Amino acid sequence: MEKEEVATGHTFFGMYDYLVVGAGLFGSVFAHEAALKGKKVMVIEKRDHIAGNIYTKEVEGIQVHEYGAHIFHTSDKEIWDYVTQFAEFNRYTNSPVANYKGEIYNLPFNMNTFNKLWGVVTPAEAQAKIDEQRAVLNSKIPENLEEQAISLVGTDIYEKLIKDYTEKQWGKPTTELPAFIIRRLPVRLTYDNNYFNDTYQGIPIGGYTQIVEKMLAHENIDVETGIDFFDKKGEYLKSFPKIVFTGMIDQFFDYEFGELEYRSLHFDTEILNVENYQGNAVVNYTDAETPYTRIIEHKHFEFGMQDKTIITKEYSKTWTRGDEPYYPVNNERNNHLYKEYQKLAAKQKNVIFGGRLGQYCYYDMHQVIAAALQCVKGEFGE
Ligand code: FAD
Ligand code: UDP
């Protein structure tokens, strides 16, 4: 037993510079960079594996995205260079299709979508159709997701491809959701089905888990899975000089001001004895009747040629305590409440809150890496 341990009764006292709570992308980038600076880091993770929501697992020779489709995309060369240190990426370009009651439309909203829906051929014809339909808004500045959607693509697309999908995904009327959510999707007057506008895009060959494995494979880092921070919160706070916390910020403060809202998911995965089930990696079901939001067919992320295939149906559900909180719901009420938690966080000098849950922010992977590297700069300088 260490000398300090005997003196304080705290198992880890004096052994580490940092405790990182959560072995997802934020925690792992931080741990990796801190280790490179010579710091000793303990990482704890409550799941039985590392990599958080980007975790992939090989089944039947196929990389299965266990927590939903993950496509890496960024326009920031620094972030692309950073992530490609840890894996080689393939040329996958995300181009999901929407299935509305058996009718198939290309996403994001582009000339292929407009042509299929309206028979228009030129960008000018498509724009005229959108302008005609958005007139229902009377030039009002969009204040919610419904108004923003109609203003971008008109009422037909809103009704067939946005309204029901969004209400299934978020469990709220589109009039009660923030406009920014729909602005994640490009709208283009070109025949281009690329879901992202970013310069760099792809899927790591061999899956995402290896990225986090490599980040954490350093002699200065110890990792323990199956450990929940809240089982020994008091002890951890006393034993580690600094903590990087990537779990839920409201839970950290024992929901003192009430719960932030999250959206949870349920994944239903099947191995099928067919070579090609749906012909695309991602198909969104945009009607209200289909209970799931999308089906992903994992082999298509890597152009797989296996005899079998693996599909996952993704169902969205209300989060209640104990469920996995996959999405923050960044509406006005929750953002306001989060600000109150941020004030508490500012007083907690030895704890850094990071990532989708710690910062209560609808971050994509490239944004999480950027936020973690920013945090590293804050700790260690350039
Ligand atoms: P997480 O990955 O959630 O990691 C946090 C970790 O902390 C988890 O492993 C959790 O178990 C652990 N933890 C929490 N509380 C505790 C505790 N009390 N004790 C111990 N451990 C704890 N991004 C993209 O760029 N492209 C995509 O295509 C994309 N698709 C997505 C699809 C879905 C369905 C979802 C949900 C997200 C998607 N994302 C995508 C976003 C991406 O998953 C996140 O940006 C990223 O994984 C967030 O990393 P993180 O470290 O902040 O959080
Ligand atoms: N969206 C939609 N129809 C679609 C795909 C997306 O209405 O077919 C809306 C929906 O509100 C969704 C948002 O666009 O929540 C953002 O979509 P994205 O694919 O970025 O969501 P994520 O992959 O993060 O769940």
For residue 368, the enclosing domain spans 3-92+202-261+329-380
| Region of residue 22 (phi > 0: left; psi between -120 and 50: alpha; otherwise: beta) | left
105 catalytic per annotation: no
209: in domain: yes
Please check whether residues 101 and 115 belong to one and the same domain. Answer: yes
Q: How many domains does the chain have?
A: 3
Structural domain ending residue among the three candidates 159, 178, 194: 194
42, 91, 367, 350: which is closest to 220 by C-alpha?
Answer: 42
pTM above 0.85, yes or no: yes
Let me know if 292 is a catalytic residue.
no
The whole-number average pLDDT for the span 88-114 is 98
In a domain, 323, yes or no: no
Active site residue 47: no
The pLDDT value given to residue 12 = 83
Q: Judge whether 142 and 151 are in contact, CB under 8 Å.
A: yes
Q: Is residue 324 part of a domain?
A: no
Q: Taking residues 123-127, report their average pLDDT.
A: 98
Q: Which residue has the least CA distance to atom 15 on ligand 2?
A: 166
**Are residue 242 and residue 364 in the same domain, yes or no?**
yes
- Tens-place pLDDT, residues 323-367: 999 999 999 999 999 999 999 999 999 999 999 999 999 999 999
Smallest CA-to-CA distance from 357 within 319, 317, 378, 326 is with: 326
Q: What is residue 2's predicted lDDT score, i.e. its pLDDT?
A: 45
Span 213-242, mean pLDDT? 97
Q: What is the pLDDT of residues 34-47, one digit of tens each?
A: 999 999 999 999 99
When pLDDT is cut at 50, 70 and 90, the band that residue 13 belongs to is: confident
Q: Kindly state the average pLDDT of the residues 270-288.
A: 98
Is 255 a domain residue?
yes
Q: Is 100 a catalytic residue?
A: no
In sequence order, the 6+-apart residues with CB closer than 8 A to the CB of 207 are 56, 57, 58, 63
Cβ atoms of residues 22 and 246 within 8 Å:
yes
CA dihedral 182, 185, 188, 192 (to 10 degrees): -150
CA dist., res. 203 & res. 63, Å (int): 10
Q: Give the CATH number, domain containing residue 245.
A: 3.40.50.720
Span from the CA of 98 to the centroid of ligand 2 (angstroms): 11
Domain annotation covers residue 163: yes
Decide if pLDDT at 6 tops 60: no
Ligand 1 within 6 A of 44 CB? Answer: yes
Ligand closest to 106 (CA) is 2
Query: Are 114 and 148 in the same domain?
Result: yes
Query: From the centroid of its chain, how far is CA 225?
Result: 21
The residue from 261, 297, 302, 314 that is catalytic is: 314
Query: At 8, is the pLDDT very low, low, confident or very high (cuts 50, 70, 90)?
Result: very low
Residue written as token pair 């994001």: 108
Does 230 lie in the same domain as 283?
Answer: no
pLDDT computed for residue 382 by the predictor: 76
pLDDT digits (tens, 9 = 90+) for 296-315: 999 999 999 999 999 999 99
- The pLDDT of 207-214, averaged and rounded, is 98
Q: Give residue 11's pLDDT.
A: 73
> Is residue 268 among the annotated active site residues?
no
Q: Please determine, for residue 191, whether its predicted confidence score (pLDDT) is greater than 80.
A: yes
Shared-domain flag, residues 286 and 369: no
Closest CA to 237 of 46, 52, 8: 8
Which of these is catalytic: 58, 143, 184, 321? Answer: 184
Q: Are residues 137 and 219 in the same domain?
A: no
Residue pointed to by tokens 């909203």: 109
For residue 3, pLDDT over 70 is answered with: no
| Pair (120, 177) in one structural domain | yes
Do 275 and 347 belong together in one domain? Answer: no
Verify whether ligand 1 is closer than 6 Å to residue 365 (CB atom): yes
The answer on pLDDT for 7 being more than 50 is no
- The rounded percent of the chain whose pLDDT value lies above 90 is 96
Whether 43 and 68 share a structural domain: yes
102 and 246 in a single domain? The answer is no
pLDDT of residue 1: 40
| In a shared domain, residues 375 and 226 | yes
Same domain (yes/no): 58, 88: yes
For residue 10, name the pLDDT band (cuts at 50, 70, 90): low
| Tokens describing residue 165 | 């999908």
Structural domain includes residue 7: yes
User: Which tens digits make up the pLDDT trace of 342-351?
Assistant: 999 999 999 9
Identify the CA nearest to 282 among candidates 269, 291, 295, 293: 295
Model confidence at 50: pLDDT above 60: yes
For residues 252 and 230, give the distance between their C-alpha atoms in angstroms, rounded to a whole number. Answer: 8
